[in-house]
A and B are shown apart, each in its own frame.
Chain A
Amino acid sequence: MKQKPITFSDTLSDFKRQTLRVMRLTLCLLLIASMHVYANGYSQKNISINVQNKSLKQVLQEIEKSSTYRFLYNQGVLKNVDKVTLQVEKVTITEALDRLFAGTDISYRELSNDLVVLNTIGSELPVDITIKGKITNPNGQPVPAASILVKGTSIGVAAEANGTYSINAPDDGILVVSAVGFATQEVSINGRATINVALAMADLSMDEVVVIGFGTQRKRDLTGSITSIKGEDLQRMPNTNPITSLQGKVAGLTVSPSGRAGSAPVVRIRGINSTNSASPVYVVDGVLHDNIEFLNPADIESIDILRDPSSIAIYGLRGANGVIAVTTKKAERGKTRINFQSTVGIQTVQDKISVVDANGFKQLYDAQLANLNAAPFDYTNYNANTNWQDLVLRNAIINTNNLSISNNTDKATTLLNIGYTYQDGVLRNDNHQRFLVRLNEEIRIHKNFKVGGEINGTFIKDNPPAVGITNALWAAPIVPVQEDATTYYSMPSFQRAQVGNPISSLNRNDRTSINEDYRLIGTLFAEWKLLNDFTLRSTIYGDFRFSNNRGYNPLPFTVINLGEGAAPTERFLDPQARTSVSQSSAESRRFQQDHTLTYNKNLGDGHNLTGLLGFTSIYGRSSSLNGSRRDTSLNIPNDPNFWYLGVANQNNPIFNGGGGSESSIVGTFGRVSYSYKGKYLVNATIRRDGSSKFAPENRYGTFGSVGLGWVASDEDFFDNIKSINFLKFRGAYGTTGNANGFSDFLWRPGLSNASSAVFGDNIYTAVQALYIPDSTLQWETVSGLDIGFDLKMLDNRLSVGATYYNRTTKGILTSVVIPNETRRFFTNLGEISNKGVEITLGWDDRIGRDFSYNVSANFSYNENQVQSIGNNLDFQILGNGGANRTITGFDIGHFFGFRQTGVYQTTAEIARNPAFSTSFPGDIAYQDFDGNGVLTQADRQYLGTPFPPYNFGVSIGMQYKNFDVNIEGQGMAGYKIYTERRTSNFATLNYESNRLNAWTTPGSTNIEPILDNTRGNNFLFSSHYLEPGDFFRIRTIQLGYSFSAEQLRAIGVKSARVFVSGQNVFTFSKVTGYSPEPQIGSILGGGADNGSYPVPSIYTFGVNLTF
């Protein structure tokens, strides 16, 4: 059968068209802006004059009288000319003057402001004039001590306290006005005697430094794609995990949060690179981590997101999915500061899943039983109407506090930070607490030698809830909750074995597991500046984790089994249930060392060179131990003080286990950054990596990158384009190795001896291969191109950036399901590409003195394609029971199934239309994709992607006097969510409201199939279970008030700000689950919503005080 062209390509090209449209728009915007520049230079005025035999001086005065032109000349210029005659009608000044001076030795120059300078030909010396004026800031207030310099000379003055100045300068000269904190401005004199200059606030963004791995670089010198987010922008949002706050702020970054207390979001940078792990690596002040939950958001100075292979090449093998580099706060120079921040908020689930109530349930279950020809259910004793969802969810508190004290003297810098976070989950009993301390110290022993270090301590305590939300969605609403605190109703017989009473489970296991996680991260560095240009820096890091969990299995509650039919209502308290306790602990150590030698020299004549050479290694070990004991004679009390293994006598059943791991990576690297006059930029990196994950002969890989940049706005020919302040073109190409998330030692034939053979009652250890080993396992290689431009214009008010990237992963490390086989096969397989564009726009301006605002928006589009997979295996990778498919020529893990066209209404309709041999009225009708007249498995087709190709974010900030308002919105589009929670049919579960519209009789519906779970055709994976995920969410609305210095002086406070904030306040989406956030955690089987933990709305009040 021939595969028809896929309809999704149409959709895709739609996407492309839209993308192009946006790009075109950006281009137009640029053109309009630059044309505006030229229009200013072409003002046209006509002159009419009629003079006969007048002196030249008189003629010039006539022109001055009848027009706006003014002439500037030395008397001597005119001395060689006698009387002249000039008769012109509506000509340009040029024409008039050309005629007037024809045959004389006078030349002229037209300046702006209708000023014309006359000179004797051959002696066109500029005329020195005296210029006076005032220098002000954007609010019109004087800028004292601004420096006014004649360009190209050493002539200069400083402005007075009231902002005025006076300087002698050539009439055609250029004044360079500069002041600290303001953008340097160049003004052409053009003969003017009065020049007032309003200085714009300096745009320092291009001079900001960003983290580039083992060093920093000025933003303007970058050649790759790195976005820097300031800590203060993150702290505005009361998320306990700072990464969640990055949502919508960075083009190309997809963040899918989890609403669960304290848990980390799923993060993807520029699509999915690998079938294995697509999570970026986190680098906190140089240390590589898998997460940053140990960081206090208030303690973050900035986060840099490195997205392209050239930028991440220096990080080597851990960075291939992108790098999120976090710089923590250091003490500010020369100040002692105490800062206190606190927020308190309430989290609430806004959009609950619509499930039927008791009446709806009875109606639907009756219908289902009727369709199954089964006897009706006896509801006599089931007359409750319980909303289980409401009972397990709650409004939950979130409270964050942070106190930091910093001190900075000549010799030392100290920062001490203490944080405490308390978060209840919106699911009852879910609780997360976190204590953080951080001490950062830097000692300058000598001007060329400093040492320093940091200690970061974290304590996290979790009380996970005992039930999942799905439990509450499944439980039948006809069941009452409880009789008293220890007597609960069980579910009806049709779901008794599969679904427990959610409240009973919640209450029985309330705080019966105590999870404590301790972590200590220490850093020690020494930095030696030698011979002016060299810096030698050595850093060692240690990351020590210890977790200590305890649990208790309490006695069950009394259960009431309500009578059904002949079965009477009865109470049951399981006499065989016993209490048990468990303890587990795990420890891990990770050591990292970095040694770098940096050479930084201004070679003169505009040549600037930075070279870096370094070595790094990471070594990690871990071990774990767990055990439990069940007491067969005494009941262990429900009191955490008893929950230790020793409380149960050792003759009771005992279980224990333990394990460990060891892995390491090493890398040597070098980087050269060269710039010429700050205009021509070259960055090149090479890195050789080794990983213990691979066989000794395959361990090493060499990767590298090169980036080129051109700051066009620094070229001379740009001097005339006044409205463009900065323009840089950049391009970079790089490769990097990846083995992220891939288990150790898969090249060795691993064995499991966990299982056993049994003969009689004798038990023997059995050995089984864990997987099919591939001894040739190698790095997967990510390589990519990144080109783009950065633009600032209209007095730095408008900023535009656009990037195109094309990235390919070759030899992807994949766990393959082999047909007819239970062992997995881990191998290098195939090639995946991600192409896309990222556009950012920013506008920053003020209106009047008191109102300033900024708007920024970003948009990104990513197109994922599997270029090849399994070419040597000739099969495909299926995920989530076949709902997702990964195959050459399509995007990774796309949905693959039948497309619903309707519901068969009658047997006649089935006979007329393509159908399965097993189709009945009330079944879903699917599209006959191959057009052969019957439905077969060949009619499955591409149904969309679970991964959002479109990401966009917009943020508006406003400041009026002491008030500030911040609104942020974020959205994603172009993906599907699989409502897998609706497909569970292992028992009779509560129905979602959509089933109220199930097919009953011909004509009743064309969407929802009949209530009959024998009809397997309706459970085939199809578009029926997909919904568009597109959404736009108002992530943040915040109103803040900053007290003025005068108000605070009396109470000894330097600055104070209070705010109220709402998060996830409005959502525009058609998704039926708790939240529209895409389910992107699984790569090969993504997109399934099984009642995922709701991402709540949060309303917060906060205060920020500095002493």
Chain B
Amino acid sequence: MSIKHLTKPFRYEKIPLKKIREDKRDKAKNTTGTIKRIWSYLAREKWKLLLVILMVMASSALSLLGPFMVGMAVDDYIVEKARSGLGMLLIWLIVIYLCHSLAIFLQNFWMVGIAQNTVYQLRADLFQQFHRLPIAYFDKRQHGELMSRLTNDIDNINNTLNQSVIQILTSMLTLVGTIGVMLYLSPLLTLITMTIIPMMLLAMRWITKRTGPLYKKQQRDLGDVNGYVEEIVSGQHVVKTFSQEQRVIDSFQTNNTKLRRSFFWAQTFTGFIPKVMNMLNFLSFGLIALAGGILAIKGWITVGVIVIFTEYARQFTRPLNELSNQFNILLAAVAGAERVFSVIDEEEEETDERHARELKTTTGHFRFANVHFAYDDTPILKNISFEAKPGETVAFVGHTGAGKTTIINLIARFYNYDKGKITLDGIDLKKIKRSSLRSHMAFVLQDTFLFHGTIRENIRYGRLDATDEEIVKAAKRANAHDFITRLPHGYDTVLDQDGSGISQGERQLLTIARAFLAEPSILILDEATSNIDTITELQIQDALKTLMHGRTSFVIAHRLNTIQEADTIVMLENGTIVEKGNHDALIKKQGHYYHLYKKQLTGSLNDQNCS
């Protein structure tokens, strides 16, 4: 292998620091601020932390006392050959060593507790924050990238707390002790030893100026890799059916190469830190030897002082060396913490307006008056007015993208309307607490959401205090009971998140059972039966009718026959209402709805005539 082969890998393209800093993804963050925030988490464990510090002090002192007593034993009993008394001294030594081990055990034991509590709290805070964020936040981010913050970034903090805190404390204590002894021995030589400190600070500044941004970039690239992987792995069925494996491997490699590059530079530069410390350590040794030698010739100091002093200089740089080693881990942790905090600092879903109140009961009387809504400056809904009296069913009809789902999002206040007014029982929707509003609603959406757990648990999601009997009853009403009992473990069948094992339609039946269980005053069905075959649909139509009875219901459906009995049919086109009325009235009117209805009916009949 040639030199060329060896140097080839190092041609990693340089990463311009300016670019990292200019990256909009992190707003100007400061490291001290982040450390302060980590501290605010640690401060919850003040008392334990104090105990740890006490134990570190004890173990540091004992670790100095041990060798000191060994030295005494050597002087008296080995060199001077004293005959009696060694036994007693050794017993003392055993006691010291026992205490030393005990102190170390306790400091570790408590520190692990502190670290785990802190990390636990961070994870919990991050999770809670995810639930406070508006839906739009998730629409714009990859799940894997967010998960990366929960795993990698928090793990970095965990490592630091477990290892670095004690190490740093011990090093600092040793440093203070050593400097004291050195000053006592020779202030002049101490001064010479100290000359490496400015050099050290300069070097550290040079390095950290690079490593800080590089670590940030590394964590970000790592997040990108993880985001890509999560997305591809969860969409693996599409990759497979299109046999695009090679292609995703190629794009993965692009991401992975980017990560390798930032990892390489971040690690290389942090790798310099211990090397610089090592060199300064050797340098101070040389300087002391040189200066000490000259001073000794002049007779200012003895040879013994030189020997002792070089030894102490070693002791002086050793903790510095440790500190710099820990710096590495600390940097990664700070970079990780910044990413965690940046989510926590993200703007939350608009909180309820100041005078928002609870709504104990509701009749479900909705009224839209000239409502406008725009998403990212694109107007979606214009001048929407209609009324849903208590217990009525309002159906929304229109082409894909006409704004049907948006209206529903406004009713549940996932989105905030811009102009106009929506009232429930005459109360402005903005004056009702979101949670209170939603507690009166049940949703059956086209996207089913089932989590990893049994079927029973998944249905109970509709009302958490429901009994097993109530669950079975709800399942029966939703016509889900039959297929559930046919499954090998019945209601205790465990579902995967991706729901393998049961079909899309069966998943929907479970969510309908969930709505039955919830017994809401307001019901929202958004393409609830689109994935269910028409015979099954027919079977649950009756059940749905019972469910909708006495409840204000908002329905979106493409199959017009399913909504013919609605009290009001609202026909939408491009975000405006073009027609409004019940089925018979709209048919009589022979307008948009009539044409759509005729098309649906005759379209099929024409074809049938052909065949």
A and B form one complex: no
